[in-house]
Structure 1
Amino acid sequence: MMATTHALFGVVLATATATVAPEFAPVAFVAGVVGSVFPDLDLYAGHRRTLHFPVYYAVAALPAVALAVVSPVAETVALALFLAGAAAHSLMDVFGGGLELKPWRAESDRAVYDHYRGRWVAPRRWIRYDGAPEDLLVAGFFAAPALVVWTGPPRTFVAAVLLVSAGYALARKPLAALVERLVPALPSALRSRLPERFRATADRTPPAQTGD
């Protein structure tokens, strides 16, 4: 799924929290969004493995949520929303495509790494790839309640994220084609810093033929 879809799910968590405890609306909004995008900070270092924990985040979120219910202060609410968002992100990625530049080809069997079981979880492909039309539909579904409930900067943020989602969905496949052309031309030192699926593009590109 798109990072923006995950961010909007964080807004859903914040909206639910603000409905029952409006005094925590600001901290819930920030913590929900940050937690929901946090796992993707591993994009350049073992994507969907280094910071994705589909089991451990969920296990940690349960007592955190319970603590926030029993002792609702800004810190406990923020921790609960952060962990719930990170757990949801790690689980939601299982429903998408695999780790590949063009996931619509369904060539990868890796969606998210399960540290508890020590293996990769296969992608379900209910959402075929990040930026797919169904991914944008889910993003819109997540955004709709927030556009009604929130006002001011939060509503502007949600609208902007939804707009970015639409732009990315339109550009997703052309961007992949552009990467295939550009990455092989980069210096090897720079290529080594790119995500693995980008480096794999260069590795599959045959060397140019030269005459004698």
Structure 2
Amino acid sequence: MMATTHAAVGLLLALPLTVVAPELAPVAALAGLAGGIFPDLDLLAGVHRRTLHFPDYYWLGALPALALAVVDPRPATVAVAWFFLAAAVHSVTDVFGAGTEARPWERTSVEAVYLHSRRRWIRPRYWVRYDGAPEDFLLTVVCFAPGLTQFGPTLRRLSLVGIAVGGGYTLVRKRLPAVEERWL
């Protein structure tokens, strides 16, 4: 899935707080956006979906952080909890997309995300055919919808930017491998 989809899911995870703790919902949404994007920084740092993707270990931070946020609901505890929760969900949901290959629509990879505790790759499921697929963009729009209606102007603008970036990426996604081969 696209980074914008993961960011949108991170924001969506904060939606329950708009009802139970509305004063903490914006910080949870911002932390969820950041946590949703964070694992994809491994595109720059090393092997994608292995270096910063931890479908098992992020939960070791997320669950205690969520418990602490329930017991001591302050902006700092909520931010840490939602950051780890979004990073954990991101790492797990990458299994439902394509593999790590440059042209994932060809389905040549058996590597969706690395499971560090088992020292092996989990196979892709292709529920979302590839990052930037039309259904991936639709998922981005649906998950960002609460950002347009349930949060303040900052999150509304970030949601619109996320939708625009996701839409642009969807339009050029299938051309990117050829551009990369030609220029890099």
The TM-score with structure 1 as length reference comes to 0.83
Structure 1 range deviating more: 83-92 or 56-65: 56-65
What residue number does 2:72 align with? 71
Verify: 1:42 aligned to 2:78, yes or no: no
What residue number does 1:145 align with? 146
**Structure 2 counterparts to residues 4-83 of structure 1, below 5 A:** 4-44=4-44, 45-83=46-84
Gaps of 5+ in 2: none
Per-residue deviation, 1:47: 1.1
Q: Give the paired residue count.
A: 183
Verify: 1:118 aligned to 2:102, yes or no: no
What residue number does 2:85 align with? 84
Tell me the distance in 1 between the aligned counterparts of 2:146 and 2:7. 14
Q: Which amino acid is 1:119 matched to? A: R
Tell me the distance in 2 between the aligned counterparts of 1:24 and 1:34. 16
What residue number does 2:166 align with? 165
Q: Which amino acid is 2:65 matched to? A: A
The TM-score with structure 2 as length reference comes to 0.95
Tell me the distance in 1 between the aligned counterparts of 2:102 and 2:47. 15
Q: Which amino acid is 1:116 matched to? A: S
Q: Which amino acid is 1:48 matched to? A: R
How many percent of aligned residue pairs carry the same amino acid?
Answer: 54
Query: Which secondary structure does the structure 1 equivalent of 2:121 belong to?
Result: strand
Residue 144 of structure 2 contacts residue 163 of structure 2 at CA under 8 Å; is this kept in 1? Answer: yes
Per-residue deviation, 1:28: 1.2
Residues 127-179 of structure 1: per-residue CA shift (max 9 Å, x gap): 11100011011111101222121231210110111011111101101122222
Per-residue deviation, 1:121: 0.5
Residues 162-199 of structure 1: per-residue CA shift (max 9 Å, x gap): 0111111011011222222222xxxxxxxxxxxxxxxx
Q: Which amino acid is 1:154 matched to? A: L
Query: Which secondary structure does the structure 2 equivalent of 1:15 belong to?
Result: coil
Residue 18 of structure 1 contacts residue 28 of structure 1 at CA under 8 Å; is this kept in 2? Answer: no
Gaps of 5+ in 1: 184-212
